[in-house]
């Protein structure tokens, strides 16, 4: 994990409490021993971030429902589907997937596996019950159909609960879970987990997750986790407002392409201040070209373009639109991956300024400006705290 400053401090505090006079090496040996298992679990729970929500990222979920789940259910012809929520935290994502499956008309035998490194999170996940406040994002009809009061909480109905199973799993450990039957998962969700990983762990995990899918199966990452190096096993499927990664070998290309193609969704650039018509036209043309270059970089990631080509295109895009915060964020990720953290921080910070000053235009298929702001601030803070810690 790439720990942020607060996470490092929290870990230091926990370690100081727990070492109880042992040297770090002695404490490490203790953690690795059978009697140290409980301490290790406590440490893990102190470091991980468990933030989650029911129906988290509705924009992405709407595209998932329309462009991934509905066609899959149609193709499956009654076959039960196998879903995996990797890094499921306290179960909200598992519950969401169970509801989406039920609403999609998938076979009632379909299942969702939830795994997480944190046993404490999984203990809560297993109940699949939530406070009424947590249900606020669940559409009213869905809430009425699938939840029952249980004490002060609302529990998912048993018909859905029994399709879920939970298991402790560290994404750093192989082998990865498999469905009970032969083959892999139809869909793997791994959202808001890899964002905390180092670049190496990120790539290793994505390749292993791709391997867990059946051919044609879909990997769903969060929209703040674009892949700059898409492993050969995956292709990118872009929809109106999201992107998904499809394991090669299962679908013909026309089945993969979303009904609303990229051409239909390219933004109409708006001049940001009153300008003379010729000037406005020139800015509009520059923005269109900048967005095309940005789209090329995203496409290049799936077709294996080199880091040098991606950097060149992102810099060209930014010379046309210096406030293209999405391109700047991507450039930051690329520089970080190329072990240029100081350069990366500069890009994250510049993207933040463009966003904070309202100069950045929203870009399709990517994070909306407020989420991009959070992603840039998080990335810059993480790198700055790492360099401060050294
Ligand atoms: C921020 S939560 C995301 C929960 C859910 N996927 C979502 O998007 O709402 C991240 C989860 O990843 C888990 N996690 C972190 N590192 C992990 C690892 N190496 N293996 C498995 N789970 C991990 C954490 O315990 C935490 O519950």
Ligand 1: which atom is nearest the Cα of residue 190?
Answer: 6
- The token duo for 89 is 């935290």
pLDDT value at residue 84? 98
pLDDT value at residue 38? 87
Ligand 1: which atom is nearest the Cα of residue 201?
Answer: 19
The model's pLDDT over 137-151, given as tens digits with 9 standing for 90+, comes to: 899 999 999 999 999
Cα–ligand 1 centroid distance for 295 (angstroms): 29
Note if the pTM is more than 0.95: no
Task: Looking at the structure, tell me whether residues 183 and 299 fall in a common domain.
Answer: no
Task: Looking at the structure, tell me whether residues 327 and 183 fall in a common domain.
Answer: no
Ligand 1: which atom is nearest the Cα of residue 44?
Answer: 25
Cα–ligand 1 centroid distance for 106 (angstroms): 26
Task: Looking at the structure, tell me whether residues 171 and 238 fall in a common domain.
Answer: yes
Ligand 1 atom 10: the closest Cα is on which residue? 193
Cα–ligand 1 centroid distance for 240 (angstroms): 27
Cα–ligand 1 centroid distance for 333 (angstroms): 20
Identify the band that residue 362 occupies on the pLDDT scale cut at 50, 70 and 90. confident
Task: Looking at the structure, tell me whether residues 185 and 280 fall in a common domain.
Answer: no
- What average pLDDT does the segment 355-361 reach? 89
pLDDT value at residue 229? 75
Examine residue 1 and state whether it is found in any structural domain, yes or no.
no
Single residue among 205, 228, 256 that ends a domain in this structure: 256
Range of 113's domain?
A: 58-256
Cα–ligand 1 centroid distance for 206 (angstroms): 14
**81-113 as b/e: b if 16+ CB within 10 A:** bbbbbbbbbbbbbbbbbbbbbbebebeeebbbb
Single residue among 205, 238, 256 that ends a domain in this structure: 256
What DSSP character marks residue 340?
-
Task: Looking at the structure, tell me whether residues 237 and 371 fall in a common domain.
Answer: no
Peptide bond connecting 9 to the previous residue in cis, omega within 30 degrees of 0: no
The model's pLDDT over 324-357, given as tens digits with 9 standing for 90+, comes to: 999 999 999 999 999 999 999 999 999 999 999 8
Cα–ligand 1 centroid distance for 159 (angstroms): 26
pLDDT value at residue 271? 34
- Distance between CA 379 and CA 376 in Å, rounded? 5
DSSP β-ladder status, 153-156 and 147-150: antiparallel
In degrees, to the nearest 5, what angle opens at C-alpha 197 toward C-alphas 333 and 11? 125
pLDDT of residue 112 exceeding 90: yes
- Distance between CA 17 and CA 11 in Å, rounded? 10
- For a mutational test of ligand 1's pocket, the pick from 53, 61, 87, i.e. the residue with the most ligand atoms closer than 8 A to its C-beta, is 87
Radius of gyration of the chain (CA): 22
Ligand 1: which atom is nearest the Cα of residue 189?
Answer: 6
Task: Supply the CATH number for residue 361's domain.
Answer: 1.25.40.10
Cα–ligand 1 centroid distance for 287 (angstroms): 37
Element (H, E) at 362: none
Ligand 1 atom 12: the closest Cα is on which residue? 87
Task: Looking at the structure, tell me whether residues 181 and 234 fall in a common domain.
Answer: yes
- The token duo for 298 is 């995203």
- What average pLDDT does the segment 126-141 reach? 95
Neighbour count for residue 144 (Cβ, 10 Å): 9
Task: Looking at the structure, tell me whether residues 274 and 330 fall in a common domain.
Answer: yes
Ligand 1 atom 3: the closest Cα is on which residue? 192
What DSSP character marks residue 268?
-
CA 20 to chain centre: 38
Give me the count of residues in the chain.
390
Single residue among 256, 278, 313 that ends a domain in this structure: 256
Average pLDDT over all residues of the chain: 86
Q: Nearest CA to 333 among 380, 287, 369, 299? A: 380
What DSSP character marks residue 106?
-
- For a mutational test of ligand 1's pocket, the pick from 48, 49, 126, i.e. the residue with the most ligand atoms closer than 8 A to its C-beta, is 48
Cα–ligand 1 centroid distance for 191 (angstroms): 8
Task: Looking at the structure, tell me whether residues 117 and 156 fall in a common domain.
Answer: yes
Q: Which among 15-19, 153-157, 376-380 has the top mean pLDDT?
A: 153-157
Phi-psi bin for 51: left (phi > 0), alpha (psi -120 to 50), beta? beta
Examine residue 13 and state whether it is found in any structural domain, yes or no.
no
Instruction: List residues near ligand 1 (CB under 6 A).
Output: 48-52, 56, 87-89, 93, 116-118, 121, 169-172, 191-193
């Amino acid at each position: 994990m790439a720990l942020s400053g607060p996470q490092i401090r929290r870990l230091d505090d926990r370690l100081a409490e727990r070492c109880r006079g042992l040297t770090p090496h002695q404490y490490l040996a203790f953690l690795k021993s059978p009697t140290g298992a409980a301490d290790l679990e406590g440490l893990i729970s102190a470091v991980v971030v468990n933030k989650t929500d029911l129906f988290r990222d509705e924009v992405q979920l709407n595209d998932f429902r329309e462009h991934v789940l509905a066609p899959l259910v149609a193709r499956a012809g009654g076959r039960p589907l196998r879903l995996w929520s990797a890094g499921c935290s306290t179960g909200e994502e598992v519950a969401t997937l169970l509801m989406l499956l039920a609403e999609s008309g998938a076979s009632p035998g379909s299942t969702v596996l939830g795994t997480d490194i944190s046993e404490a999170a999984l203990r809560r996940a297993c109940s699949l019950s939530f406070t009424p406040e947590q249900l606020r994002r669940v559409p009213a009809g869905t809430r009425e159909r699938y939840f029952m009061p249980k004490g002060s909480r609302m529990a998912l109905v048993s018909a859905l609960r029994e399709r879920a199973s939970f298991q402790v799993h560290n994404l750093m450990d192989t082998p990865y879970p498999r469905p009970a039957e032969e083959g892999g998962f139809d869909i793997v969700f791994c959202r808001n987990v890899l964002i905390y990983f180092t670049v190496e762990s990120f790539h290793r995990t994505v390749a292993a997750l791709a391997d867990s899918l059946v051919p044609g199966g879909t990997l769903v990452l969060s929209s703040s986790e674009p892949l700059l190096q898409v492993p050969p096993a995956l292709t990118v499927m872009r929809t109106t407002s999201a992107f998904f990664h499809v394991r090669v070998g299962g679908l013909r290309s026309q089945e993969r392409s979303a009904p609303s193609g990229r051409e239909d969704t390219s933004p109409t650039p708006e001049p940001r201040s009153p300008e003379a018509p010729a000037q406005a036209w020139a800015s509009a043309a520059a923005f269109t070209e900048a967005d095309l270059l940005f789209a090329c970089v995203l496409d290049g990631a799936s077709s294996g373009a080199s880091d040098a080509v991606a950097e060149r295109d992102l810099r060209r895009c930014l010379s046309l639109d210096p406030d293209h915060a999405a391109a700047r964020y991507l450039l930051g990720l690329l520089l970080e991956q190329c072990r240029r953290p100081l350069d990366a921080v500069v890009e994250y910070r510049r993207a933040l300024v463009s966003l904070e000053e309202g100069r950045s235009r929203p870009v399709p298929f990517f994070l909306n400006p407020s989420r991009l702001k959070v992603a840039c601030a998080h990335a810059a803070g993480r790198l700055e705290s790492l360099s401060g810690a050294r």
